[in-house]
Structure 1
Amino acid sequence: MPGAGKSMCVEHLKSKGFNSVYFGGITIDEIKKRGLELNPENEKIVREDIRKKYGNDVYAKRIIDKIKLIKNSQPIVVDGLYSWTEYKMFKNEYGDRAIIVAVVAPRSLRHKRLSA
């Protein structure tokens, strides 16, 4: 949910020493690679295209690969878990070490934040 406060939570955790990995970075990298304008419409098109080509678990697989490249022992916050398939993949890979947090806010507050 845009405007819920996910990015603020990630920034707070990063200030406490967490590493961070962003699901949306995969889409943004692909948009740049394709030479497209970065906007919500292209993000949706590219995200759906990537999932159609590589499967619904492609983002989780790529994020898990990125996590494995992080060499320090600090905890990692993953921003942007999107689907049930991705959730299941994280739980299968990390078990109880994967702590899933949903950041939610009332629609009116999200709209207010996004229009500011």
Structure 2
Amino acid sequence: MGAGPLLIGISGLSGAGKSTATTMLAALSGGKSVYVGQVVLDEIKALGLEQTRENERRVRLDIREREGGAGLLRRKRNEILSALANGQSVFVDAILSPDEWFELEMMHKVGTRLLIMDADFETRAARLTARNTRPFSRDDLIRRDDTEQAALRIEDLDKDASIRIENIGPLDHLERCLASFLHNIELPRLA
């Protein structure tokens, strides 16, 4: 078994299954799930803005412009470090840029991994348009993909990934893939 808690960043385009994977990984391991996107939702609320896709996009880009490419993640730093200090492995949803990956690695130099969730556009669009909370239209998804690919350079993370999971099947298949990932990296399990 591993010597201590791990810090796992989950990356992938919208609708690829990052949040689902993060929740499953935390449940499988007894670890903690940290949703970086909550920073954006909290900022929208603090600013008194309506929660729309456009406001989410603007706030997300504004925070990154003002606080650097890893600004969103830095706001979750204390939560992440506190869990690690308590011996919990942490699963971060989501790492979307090389700046965020570098920041994550600097938080926990031993045992940091990057997992990329992947799914084709049609699968992602079907998931996001059917979502009850904060659904996406196909146009929303195209715009979000453009931002993540051009402005954030999400594809540059491929070289740093420990594993890529193609998430196009049923949830039980995803859970088996994630359990295998945990087993292969020798994640310490809580008693």
TM over 0.5: yes
Distance in 2, matches of 1:68 and 1:92, equals 11
Aligned length: 116
- Code of the residue aligned with 1:88 in structure 2: it is F
- State the partner residue of 2:24: 12
The answer to whether 1:30 aligns with 2:43 is: yes
Within-5 A mapping of 1:86-101: 86-101=100-115
Runs of 4+ in structure 1 over 6 Å off:
none
Does structure 1 retain, via aligned residues, the 8 Å contact 2:44–2:55? yes
The structure that is helix-richer by fraction is 1
Distance in 1, matches of 2:64 and 2:21, equals 27
**Offset at 1:93?**
2.8
**Offset at 1:8?**
1.2
- State the partner residue of 1:74: 88
Gaps of 5+ in 1: none
**Offset at 1:52?**
1.8
The structure that is strand-richer by fraction is 2
Does structure 1 retain, via aligned residues, the 8 Å contact 2:81–2:107? no
Give the share of equivalent positions with the same residue, in percent.
34
Q: What is the root-mean-square deviation in Å for CA atoms of aligned residues?
A: 1.6
Distance in 2, matches of 1:28 and 1:115, equals 19
Give the 3-state SS of the residue equivalent to 1:78 in structure 2.
strand
**Offset at 1:59?**
2.0
Q: What TM-score do the two structures reach when normalised by structure 2?
A: 0.56
Q: What TM-score do the two structures reach when normalised by structure 1?
A: 0.88
**Offset at 1:106?**
1.0
More relative contact order, 1 or 2 (CA 8 Å, 6+ apart)? 1
- Code of the residue aligned with 2:31 in structure 1: it is F
Q: Which moved more, 1:17-26 or 1:86-95?
A: 86-95
**Offset at 1:95?**
2.5
Structure whose alpha-carbon radius of gyration is higher:
2
- Code of the residue aligned with 2:101 in structure 1: it is Y
- Code of the residue aligned with 1:40 in structure 2: it is R
- State the partner residue of 2:62: 49
- State the partner residue of 2:121: 107
